[in-house]
Amino acid sequence: MKSLLLGTAVLTLSAATAFAASHSVVRLGTEGAYPPYNFLDDNGEVAGFERELGDELCARAEMTCEWVTNDWDSIIPNLVSGNYDAIIAGMSITPERDEVVDFTQNYTPPSPSAFAALSADADIEGGVVAAQTGTIQAAHIAESGATLLEFPSPDETIAAVMSGEADAVMADKDFLIPLVEENANMTFVGEDIPLGGGIGMAFRESDPEMRETFDAAIQSMKDDGTLNELIVKWLGADSPKF
């Protein structure tokens, strides 16, 4: 009897370690070019809202996390082919993306997108508007009357406005706020537009366990208010909270 019990214990333990071994290191993929969500600090390390959030989520889920940067264009193909395990890159939850990957619940409320330009009377309805390729903002402009000018990285969309190549840039408002505040020439134009269902982490559809683990961790951060603290710290007091 004793040996049977011991045997069961050993079996349970080894099963647990097997699960831990296959999932003990979670590779988090991000872009590293979208402050304040994610960017590279002076040391070349991933930093920002999602860095702190991701590290906290991993601590709560008792997993070791490793940060990987990847180009925005190929961020979903590299997830589904297994080069990292999750995307945490300011990616809004949309039905189109949901067909390919599975999202956790959102960790920011649906937040507004905005236009920024060099002058307040920039033509955002019929002019040239810059946006990053494959974003909800790019999709929005494509459907509006404006001409869409796409760039692979967020920096280049801003540079296009600065150089006059585009009349305005459309992006998440939280990304534009620091730029507008610290650049006297730049101002917000027009109304804010609510797009997307908030930002979530994306996982492979075949990875429901890990998605649920992180989903629970996000819920616990919502429940104890730490998520709101992070939002205020990184995205500003005016950003929508839970």
Partner 1 sequence: MPTCADPSVLEGLSWLMCYLTTGKHISLYISVGTVLLLLAITAPTALLFGFGGATAARSRIWPLSWFGRGYIAVVRGVPDIAFFLFFVIALDQAFEWLRHQVKCPDWDEPIRQGSDFIVCAEAKLPLSTSPQWVHETYGFFVAVLTFAIVFGAFAANVLYGAMRAVPHAQIETAEAYGLSPRQTFWRILVPQMWVYALPGLSNLWMVLIKATPLLFLLGIEDIVYWARELGAAKTPRFTDYPHGDWRMWYFLALLVFYLAFTRVSEVVLDRIMARLTRGQATLAGEAQRKAGA
Backbone φ, ψ for residue 209 (5° rounding): -60, -45
Distances 220 to 88, 192, 240 between C-alpha atoms, Å: 18, 30, 18
Draw the binding track, 176-215, toward partner 1 (x: CB under 8 A; -: no contact): --xx--xx--------------------xxx---------
List 10, 11, 21, 142, residue binding partner 1 (CB under 8 A): 21
Closer residue to partner 1 (CB): 47 or 221: 47
DSSP string, 53-70: HHHHHHHHTT-EEEEEE-
Closer residue to partner 1 (CB): 48 or 196: 48
With tokens 């996000």, the residue in question is 218
Closer residue to partner 1 (CB): 79 or 129: 79
Distances 234 to 55, 112, 219 between C-alpha atoms, Å: 15, 16, 19
Closer residue to partner 1 (CB): 1 or 237: 237
Candidate ranges 28-36, 54-62, 88-96, 192-200; the one touching partner 1 (CB under 8 A): 28-36
Task: Provide, rounded to whole angstroms, the least separation between the CB of residue 155 and partner 1.
Answer: 4
List 62, 125, 155, 224, residue binding partner 1 (CB under 8 A): 155
Draw the binding track, 112-141, toward partner 1 (x: CB under 8 A; -: no contact): ------------------------------
CA-wise closest residue to 176 among 228, 125, 129: 129
Q: Is 159 in the site for partner 1 (CB under 8 A)?
A: yes
Task: Provide, rounded to whole angstroms, the least separation between the CB of residue 21 and partner 1.
Answer: 7
Lookup: tokens for 113: 């997108």
Evaluate whether 157 touches 176 at the Cβ level (below 8 Å).
no
Task: Provide, rounded to whole angstroms, the least separation between the CB of residue 90 and partner 1.
Answer: 14
Task: Provide, rounded to whole angstroms, the least separation between the CB of residue 144 and partner 1.
Answer: 27
Evaluate whether 227 touches 200 at the Cβ level (below 8 Å).
no
Tell me the helix, strand and coil percentages in the chain, rounded to 5: 40, 25, 35
Q: Find out whether the peptide bond into 240 is cis, omega within 30 degrees of 0.
A: no
Lookup: tokens for 85: 């395990």
Positions in 41-100 near partner 1 (CB under 8 A): 41-45, 47-48, 66, 68-71, 74, 77-78, 80-83, 85, 100
DSSP 9: H
Round to whole Å and give the CA distance between 158 and 173: 13
Lookup: tokens for 198: 């908030």
Which residues contribute to the site for partner 1 (CB under 8 A)? 21-22, 24-25, 27, 32-33, 35-36, 39-45, 47-48, 66, 68-71, 74, 77-78, 80-83, 85, 100, 153, 155, 158-159, 162, 178-179, 182-183, 204-206
